[in-house]
Amino acid sequence: MKMAENIGGAVLLVEDDESLASVLRHTLLGAGFTPRIAVTGGEALRILEEETPAGVILDLNLPDGRAAEVVNLLSQLRIGSRVAWVAISALTREEADSRYGPLGSRFIAKPFDPWNLMTTLERLLAIRGFETPATTGSTRTSGMADGARMVCPKSVCTVP
């Protein structure tokens, strides 16, 4: 598989739930990232063949059942050392570790606070030497127009 150059602040969001994908897209934008969205594992694999984003947020329960293939690709040394990735799921940590191998701090169970997810992603990016809003002192915005509110289903995330 040919891997392209790592693309700065790009984050691949692999999520099939439209509501959650929308919330996370706005959160990524507000945190200073450039999101690219895939709704299946197959689509994510195709994107990762063409480009290497700085980060990946991966839902483990995808409609095509190919999340394990994405986890395997991200875990490979040649890409895993260059890409910060976080797995999100309604599975428990034990279930996720059993199906996908030990995920450690890369796993966040649903429901979650989107900003906690951003903090985890930024920490993993910083470990890989990427500058993030957290390391450059930039301030985050909500990613929404003034007066707009994010609507987040309680089953997938919590909003403080």
Q: Any idea where the domains of the chain sit in the sequence? A: 6-136
Range of lowest pLDDT (44-53, 128-137, 148-157): 148-157
Mean pLDDT of the chain: 81
Report the candidate in 67, 66, 99 with the shortest Cα–Cα distance to residue 86. Answer: 67
Query: What backbone torsions phi and psi does residue 84 show, to the nearest 5 degrees?
Result: -85, 125
Q: Report pLDDT for 148.
A: 37
Confidence of residue 143 (pLDDT cuts 50, 70, 90): very low
Task: Report the CATH fold assignment for 6-136.
Answer: Rossmann fold (3.40.50)
Q: Which two tokens stand for residue 159?
A: 């909003």
Cα angle 84-90-91, degrees, rounded to a multiple of 5: 85
Q: Report pLDDT for 158.
A: 54
